[in-house]
Amino acid sequence: GERRHTISEYELQLLKHKYGLSMQGWIHRAEQAGVLPKGAATKLRQRFEQRGWKMVEPGRPYPEEKPTRHERLVMHALAEQVVSESRAAELLGMPLQQFWAEVEASYDPHDAERPDAPRSGSGS
């Protein structure tokens, strides 16, 4: 990218939340790519250290990642009728009522045409 003189803390926060790399990681990467001069990167790192941001960066923390592959595979098997709702709930480690509640919560409340909406009391 274009060579810069510095990067603002706000820009670093935006990058952190968009791509999931820490603010200090972005400083390092910008320096490594030649976008940010070594002196500017050093000043930013010193500012982070002086403000106590080396361990806890300012702004909202980046949300923790949640693995979803297992859940997607179970829901795919349910949609293809390979497993029943009760088996899907079991595979996801939750009671059937909780499973129904979570599936129900994931739908648009205005979508009345949901052929795969959970059916209360069906232990299929």
Give pLDDT tens digits for 24-76.
999 999 999 999 999 999 999 999 999 998 888 887 777 777 788 999 999 99
pLDDT given for residue 122 in this prediction: 46
Query: For 65-117, how does the pLDDT look when each residue is reduced to its tens digit (9 = 90+)?
Result: 778 899 999 999 999 999 999 999 999 999 999 999 988 888 766 655 554 54
Give the residue from 32, 10, 36, 35 showing the smallest Cα distance to 23: 10
- Same domain as 52, residue 26: yes
- Same domain as 46, residue 87: no
Range(s) of the domain holding residue 44: 1-63
φ, ψ for residue 53, nearest 5 deg: -100, 5
Is 42 within the bounds of a domain? yes
Q: For position 32, which CATH number holds?
A: 1.10.10
Number of H helices, E strands in the chain: 6, 0
Angle in degrees, CA 27, 6, 11, rounded to 5:
65
- Same domain as 56, residue 4: yes
